[in-house]
Amino acid sequence: MTSQNNLKKYIQRILVFQQNGSGESKIQGIIKYGKNLFDLKIISIDKSLSPVIDDSTKYLPTNIKADLVLDYLTHPDLSHDLAIMCVKKKIPVVATGKKSHIKGVLTPPT
């Protein structure tokens, strides 16, 4: 039988990006049904943004450490830059409902 200490080694690190609560229902589902199987970190951007963002480093971390990234951002520039960062680091990204054409980004319908 696996001890609790050994189980902690296998906990998947999920990093969720949301904008103005856009991923809240999914986050609550992960918390409710995932129990303690995930190390869940949430980055929320809750401010009004300009239509074009030239420098996403104002909003996105420069160093992402996760096993999986969930993108619920509503701003296309931020989603695009996040996807590029994750693909470079070989971190899988799920960007639900997006029309991303970046190889390696999963974009299932909502």
Residue type, 47: K
- pLDDT for 25: 94
Give Cβ neighbours of residue 12 (< 8 Å, ≥ 6 apart). Answer: 37, 38, 39, 67, 68
Distance between CA atoms of residues 88 and 25, nearest Å: 29
d(CA 11, CA 16): 16
What is the pLDDT tens value at each position of the chain, 110 positions in all? 455 555 556 789 999 999 999 999 999 999 999 988 899 999 999 989 989 999 998 999 989 999 999 999 999 999 999 999 999 999 999 987 776 677 778 777 76
Output the pLDDT for position 4: 55
Domains annotated for the chain, with CATH where assigned, are 4-47+55-106 (3.40.50.720)
